[in-house]
Chain A
Amino acid sequence: MARMTMIEAVRSAMDVSMERDDNVVVFGEDVGYFGGVFRCTQGLQAKYGKTRCFDAPISESGIVGTAIGMAAYGLKPCVEIQFADYMYPAYDQITQEAARIRYRSNGDFTCPIVLRMPTGGGIFGGQTHSQSPEALFTHVCGLKVVVPSNPYDAKGLLIASIEDPDPVMFLEPKRLYNGPFDGHHDRPVIPWSKHDLGEVPEGHYTIPIGKAEIRRQGSAVTVVAYGTMVHVALAAAEETGIDAEVIDLRSLLPLDLDTIVKSVEKTGRCVVVHEATLTSGFGGEVASLVQEHCFYHLEAPVVRVAGWDTPYPHAQEWDYFPGPARVGRALVEVMEA
């Protein structure tokens, strides 16, 4: 076991995968010699050579398009999109190509690629370095969508994603890279080295895609969250004193519906939290599923807490970010309903 930040955990996952399988290649903007703007690929080029870890031109459609071609050949590309906000030029390649190659060729060709991309706000990144586009991926059949909330999960899920036979969108909440950020931006961040989930095995292990994890057992209300919002939800539960059960989805697609249903049947209440904008966000999907599967157990309407339906602002970041106060108010609201 070692203590790792989420950056080190992600790097370790790629290192372990490249070591075990010559077909794993890593590339993207600034990922080669320099090791990525968040340093996730640092040292991989020196260790594995520049034909297995290299810099790419600033062309996301080119990065994803070539990765698809490499996968058709038989490689397992794990590429970095520098910010999730930059994936839009590649959206055609992701949605109409990567997601459908297995289906349209009836398995003659497949597309085992991983697109890693830092997601979410909290770093004063403004509207083009803060977005959470996960719902644009969960709406696409043929993709898998993974969002880890801590270093241990990040490594196990990334190795599982690289080994997966289908395309995986791997969204890394960038505000969690260095510590479990709970939304209290005015307090010092606890580093991962002081957190249990910063303890990460150095070797190979996987966490299955499609399995949620309960981060806090509780009986009053179920909070469904993923990524940064898991830590915000935990803080909100502590601060309100409401005995919330906090589910960390880890994978949005496939979704661990059983864990959600079991919890809501127990608590009778549900709050869904995400940083992405509210309308047509993934919370709408969760809320629908909860009412479809748990309607007769519900004591109160399902409540969503999300980013406002506006672009992500710069100076007003903390008024936009759904912090523990907003999540806490939702918990109170759903308990009083």
Chain B
Amino acid sequence: MSDLDRLSLHVPEPAVRPGGQPDFSNVKIPKAGSVPRPEVDVAPEEMRDLAYSIIRVLNRDGEAVGPWAGLLSDDELLAGLKHMMTLRAFDARMVMAQRQGKTSFYMQHLGEEAVSCAFRKALVKGDMNFPTYRQAGLLIADGYPMVEMMNQIFSNESDPLRGRQLPIMYSSKEHGFFTISGNLATQYVQAVGWAMASAIKRDTKIAAAWIGDGSTAESDFHSALVFASTYKAPVILNIVNNQWAISTFQGIARGGSGTFAARGLGFGIPALRVDGNDYLAVYAVAKWAAERARRNLGPTLIEYVTYRVGAHSTSDDPSAYRPKTESEAWPLGDPVLRLKKHLILRGAWSEERHTQAEAEIVDAVIQAQKQAEGHGTLHAGGKPSVRDIFEGVYAEMPPHIRRQRQKAGY
């Protein structure tokens, strides 16, 4: 025993802290087009490498290259670009609205727009997403009205959720968007249950589960993988690795595992890593996983490698825990600029049209905001009734809640 040192605890640290030079040399970026595309029915053990690489389609010059390219038409890509631009403009307006006191709280997607916008297009009507708080692109890309989103954010008289939920915790069954909890990871295993139900009923619909890098540490993440693996549920298990869980870098949740995607391997679940800032790559990988699910081949785990450019929420200040210039050093670039460059290269887009589209989109967002504000904002104008506090706890109001509602004067 005497020749052994005493034990010491290992606490992982990010490469750099505020004041330091941003350093992403630990993020190994393979060349675009270099990762093979297996058949969807390949045995998981034959594609283990894909859990450690990064599938990329758009190269530095804006060309779409390799086996994952070639799935989307000009029109589809243009629509995708506009969805991402809309989400970005929407976020900018809502962050401003929060600062103006029109709502209490907001969470933006800056830098991560490609993940949810492209993913939505790989699903069809009837499929169900179980999202976290940073996938509003699922709604935007599915044509959910912005004014409805804003009504919810402002908790106004037209709020579809009657003022009960934190801003951005949307719900839309019609648009395949399960009610956001605000708890972390709980929805991951629920998505697996929804997918199991679809299989039990011999349906054709599939589910998609969403989680962030930090929340993969929750036990519900692991429960979800067990159930998805055991019952071969038709579910896509998405992990959005945006490097930061509020102030905690991804290494605290990842631990000794090489990647988050690699978590799937022990469960026998095919796992892929994809460039989350590459609209074409996100779509291609999501489509691959959706086909697997729909062909009853079971779950797929996808890790989207991206970067949270903005603060975690309007209550957060990232300059306290990471270098201010870190987002500029992020090696996978900006998803909007990358798709824009690709479309210009294809001859389907131009700088002028982009500038014009930007102006049109901002105008549409402002128009929606005006309309929503006509129904009130958090502290001004029309608001949900006090009665709404008591409704909807149960299908039928039990006597004790009725008595309390009466006591409240309603």
Residues on A close to B: CB < 8 A? 25, 51-52, 56-57, 59, 61-62, 65-70, 72-75, 89, 92-93, 96-97, 100-110, 141-142, 144, 165-166, 210, 253-255, 257
A66 and B189 contacting across the interface, CB-CB below 8 Å: yes
Q: Which residues from A are CB-within-8-Å of B192?
A: 65-66, 69
Our pick among B160, B162, B189, B199 for the contact of A65 (Cβ within 8 Å) is B189
Chain A residues within an 8 Å CB radius of B162:
106
Bound: A106/B169 CA distance, A: 12
Q: Give the docked Cα–Cα distance between A165 and B223 (Å).
A: 26
B191 at the interface (CB under 8 A from A): yes
Closest to B174 in A: A108
A254 to B220 alpha-carbon distance, docked (Å) = 30
Q: Are A66 and B160 in contact (CB under 8 A)?
A: no
Report if A257-B392 is in contact (Cβ < 8 Å); known contacts: A65-B190, A65-B220: no
Minimum CB–CB distance for B123 against chain A, Å: 15
Q: Which residues of B contact A257 (CB under 8 A)?
A: 399-400
Residue from B193, B227, B395, B398 in contact with A165 in the complex, judged by beta carbons closer than 8 Å: B395
**A-B residue pairs, 8 tightest by C-beta:** A69-B193, A66-B193, A65-B189, A62-B223, A73-B197, A105-B179, A69-B190, A69-B194
Residue of A nearest to B188 (CB): A65
Q: Are B171 and A68 in contact (CB under 8 A)?
A: no
Question: Bound state CA distance, A252 and B178, in angstroms?
Answer: 30
B183 interface residue (CB < 8 Å to A): yes
Interface presence of B226 (CB below 8 A)? yes
Q: Which residue of A lies closest to B200 (CB)?
A: A51
Give the residues from 132 to 180 in chain B that come closer than 8 angstroms, CB to CB, to chain A: 160-162, 164-165, 169, 171-173, 178-179
B128–A72 contact, CB under 8 A? yes
Among B169, B172, B183, B392, the residue within 8 A (CB) of A97 is: B183
Q: How far is the CA of A68 from the CA of B201 in the complex (A)?
A: 16
Query: Residues of A contacting B224 with CB < 8 Å?
Result: 62, 65
In the complex, which residues of chain A have a beta carbon less than 8 angstroms from the beta carbon of B9? none
Residue pair A109, B173 in contact (C-beta under 8 Å): yes
CB within 8 Å for A59 and B227 given contacts A104-B169, A104-B181, A257-B400: yes
Complex CA–CA separation, A254 to B404 (angstroms)? 14
Cβ-defined contact, A75 with B200, below 8 A: yes
Min Cβ gap B377→A in Å is 19
A89→B172 CA distance, assembly (Å): 29
Count of interface residues, chain B, beta-carbon cutoff 8 Å? 46
B186 at the A interface (CB under 8 A): yes
Contact A69 B195 (CB under 8 A): yes
B226 engages A66 (CB within 8 Å): no
B371 within 8 A of A: no
Using a CB–CB cutoff of 8 Å, the interface residues on chain B facing chain A are 128, 130, 160-162, 164-165, 169, 171-173, 178-179, 181, 183, 186, 188-201, 207, 219-220, 223-224, 226-227, 230, 392-395, 398-401
Residues in B with CB closer than 8 Å to A25 are 197, 200
Are A255 and B226 interface neighbours, CB within 8 A?
no
Residues of A within 8 A of B181 (CB): 96-97, 100, 104
Measured CA separation A166–B219 after assembly (Å): 25
- Residue in A56, A72, A106 whose CB lies within 8 Å of B392: A106
Q: List 18 A-B contacts (CB under 8 A).
A: A61-B220, A65-B188, A65-B193, A66-B193, A67-B193, A69-B196, A70-B200, A92-B186, A92-B220, A105-B171, A108-B171, A108-B173, A109-B179, A142-B394, A165-B395, A166-B394, A255-B400, A257-B399
A70 CA to B203 CA, complexed, in Å: 13
Residue pair A72, B394 in contact (C-beta under 8 Å): no
Contact present for A108 and B179 (CB under 8 Å): yes
> Smallest Cβ distance from B186 to chain A, in angstroms?
5
Whole-angstrom distance between the alpha carbons of A68 and B164 in the complex?
20
CA distance A69 to B223 in the complex (A): 13
**In the complex the two chains form, is B189's CB within 8 Å of A62's CB?**
yes
A202 to chain B, nearest CB (A): 27
State how many angstroms separate the Cβ of B294 from the closest Cβ of chain A. 16
A53 to B219, CA, bound (A): 25
A108 engages B392 (CB within 8 Å): no
Q: Decide if A106 touches B161 in the complex (CB within 8 Å).
A: yes
Nearest Cβ on chain A to B276's Cβ, whole angstroms = 25
Bound together, the chains give a CA A117 to CA B395 distance in angstroms of 23
Q: Which of A92, A141, A255 contacts B183 (CB 8 A)?
A: A92
CB-CB under 8 A from A141, the residues of chain B are 393, 401
What 4 new A-B contacts, CB under 8 Å, besides A69-B194, A106-B160, A142-B393? A62-B227, A69-B189, A92-B186, A92-B220
